[in-house]
Structure 1
Amino acid sequence: MSGDKNIVTLEAADYAAFYIYVILVHPVVVNVGEHLFDNLMERKDFHLVDVKTLTDGSLLVTYEPAKA
């Protein structure tokens, strides 16, 4: 995935702007590429809201920030 322009990275200041996170997970492991969440200063907990399995084996997962 190196050079993939579809990867979106989020800075720590961006986390508060989102209420849900929808992530498409492909069943591939690589040793290169961009991190999804960079520059975290503290732990961020999430609650799994939904999972959909797509026909190609990918997962569409939806998370929301965990309540304190």
Structure 2
Amino acid sequence: MIVRVLFLFIGFGLAVAGGVTLIAFLNLLTMGHTAVDYFHFVVHRPESYLFVGGLLLMWLSLYFPSI
């Protein structure tokens, strides 16, 4: 049980860190870049994978308690 809560908190922290950077990178749109440029830039940044990894950790800790 404590391992699940630990994974939940770690996943939440990673998702918050990744989500904040994704929102911060939205400033590229105000500087004249297109949405395609934004998506291409975000896909190649490691911070975007923090968001996905955090969501995955939270999902696993909530829906698969036996892991």
Shorter-chain TM-score bucket reads under 0.3
- Under a length normalisation based on structure 2, what TM-score does the superposition of the two structures give? 0.23
Q: Which one has the bigger helix percentage?
A: 2
Q: Which has the larger radius of gyration?
A: 2
TM-score, scaled to structure 1: 0.23
Structure with greater contact order relative to length (CA < 8 Å, sep ≥ 6): 2
